[in-house]
Amino acid sequence: MDRMTTSPLATYLDHLERGELGYQFSPSTNHAVFYPRVIAPGSGADDLEWRISAGLGTVYATTVVHAQHGESYNVALVDMDEGFRLMSRVEDIPPAEVRIGQRVRFRTHRPGGDEPPCPVFFPAEPAA
C-alpha cells in the first residue's frame, strides 16, 4: 500500500470545507465506503478512491431528541443515492415532521470556533 500523505478524515473535512460531501468508493468491491477509511471494510481492499456525492438521499430512520436544555432536534439515518448511509440531522422543518422515506438534500453546517464542519440535510421538496 502506498504511503498516505493525508489522512482520510482530513480529506473528508477538506471536502466539507468546500461544501462537498466526499465519500470513498472501492472499484474492486464495487461499493461506496463511508465513514472514510484506509482500507475497505470486509475485503481489506486498498483501492479506495474519493468521489463527490450529488447530495441527494432518503431518510432511512429518524427520531427526535428532547434536550434537557435547549430545543428538541432530529437525528436521522440518511441513505445517499450513491449507496452509503450516514447519521445526521434534517433542518428547516420541525424535528417531529421528518419522515422515513423523505427525500433530503445535503449542505455543510459550519458550527464555528474549533468545531469542524459537518453534513446536515434539508427537505429536497418544499412542504405541501
pLDDT at 84 over 80: yes
Residues of the chain with CATH 2.40.50.840: 56-123
Q: What is the mean pLDDT of the chain?
A: 92
Provide CATH code, domain 56-123: 2.40.50.840
Per residue in 6-35, pLDDT (tens digit) is: 899 999 999 999 999 999 999 999 999 999
Given a cut of 60, is residue 3 above it in pLDDT?
no
In this predicted structure, what is the pLDDT of residue 89?
Answer: 95
**104: Cβ contacts below 8 Å, ≥ 6 apart:** 56, 57, 58, 59, 76, 78, 90, 121, 122, 123, 124
pLDDT digits (tens, 9 = 90+) for 52-64: 999 999 999 999 9
Which pTM does this prediction carry?
A: 0.88
pLDDT, mean of residues 71-85: 96
